[in-house]
Amino acid sequence: MLSVNNLKISFDDNHVLDGFNLQLESGDIFALLGDSGSGKSSALRFIAGLENAQLGSVALDGNDLSDGGSHSVKPELREVGMVFQDYALFPHMTVFQNISFGINHLSIKEKIEKVERLLGLISLEGIEQKYPHQLSGGEQQRVSLARSLATSPKLLLLDEPFSSLDKSHRNQLVKEVRDILKKAGVTSILVTHDEFEAKSFADKVGIIDKKKVAY
């Protein structure tokens, strides 16, 4: 389903990844562990098409997205969603507007139906007209997840999405988001430095060791 081969990323003379390989099957939930500066977020951003590399290829469902460290398919055409640490919700938009932001090609009826389905999936029905500042941190992160799922991505990338929450809320949200992704059947990669979080969230865990992925 996802194939990342021979990824090499360097910043000036700092080689953060060299020979990074990753293979995932459809529906896999994978966690990538690594210390700060180990290259885990850079790997995610290369898969998303947001950063180039010195070497490396990405294929999704047999379609080549990147080769030789550069990208042949633009980020918005990759069918890849991202969830960030800071939620990245638009503060001036309602929950409905945030979730439907990437599906403006649909009719209003289709958008309403999809947003309602996604709010049901994340167990936050009835908050369509609220604004982000009216939600808790955990609720904002679930809305961010719903927005990423609205475009029906084949692959979802989560870049330390729980790190800004306190521990008690974080542990609960990790389990909830895992359940949501399992119900949605979306192949996912979580980047984290927290081993407990990785093992609670993922079916498979890899750690960046010597600039590669070890299991």
pLDDT of residue 86: 86
Helix (H/G/I), strand (E/B), else coil: 185: coil
CA distance 3 to 57: 8
Does residue 56 belong to any structural domain of this protein? Answer: no
Provide the sign of the torsion angle of the four alpha carbons 83, 89, 97, 182, taken in this order.
positive
pTM for this model (two decimals): 0.94
In 3D, which of 12, 25, 140, 158 has the Cα closest to residue 81? 158
Decide: 213 and 206 in contact? Cβ < 8 Å. yes
Question: Which structural domain range is residue 135 located in?
Answer: 27-50+75-207
Does residue 59 belong to any structural domain of this protein? Answer: no
Does residue 187 belong to any structural domain of this protein? Answer: yes
pLDDT digits (tens, 9 = 90+) for 122-165: 999 999 999 999 999 999 999 999 999 999 999 999 999 998 88
Query: How many domains, the chain?
Result: 1
Does residue 89 belong to any structural domain of this protein? Answer: yes
pLDDT digits (tens, 9 = 90+) for 25-74: 999 999 999 999 999 999 999 999 999 999 999 999 999 999 999 999 99
Does residue 69 belong to any structural domain of this protein? Answer: no
In 3D, which of 71, 69, 77, 132 has the Cα closest to residue 99? 132
Does residue 126 belong to any structural domain of this protein? Answer: yes
pLDDT of residue 167: 81
Q: CA distances (Å), 21 to each of 29, 194, 212, in order?
A: 16, 21, 7
Instruction: Write down the number of H helices and E strands in the chain.
Output: 6, 11
DSSP single-letter state for residue 76: G
Does residue 55 belong to any structural domain of this protein? Answer: no
Length of the chain: 215
Mean pLDDT along residues 162-181: 90
CATH number at residue 196: 3.40.50.300
pLDDT of residue 166: 84
pLDDT digits (tens, 9 = 90+) for 72-130: 999 999 999 999 888 889 999 999 999 999 999 999 999 999 999 999 999 999 999 99
In 3D, which of 211, 214, 137, 141 has the Cα closest to residue 181? 141
pLDDT digits (tens, 9 = 90+) for 196-212: 999 999 999 999 999 99
Does residue 170 belong to any structural domain of this protein? Answer: yes
The confidence band for 12, taking pLDDT boundaries of 50, 70 and 90, is: confident
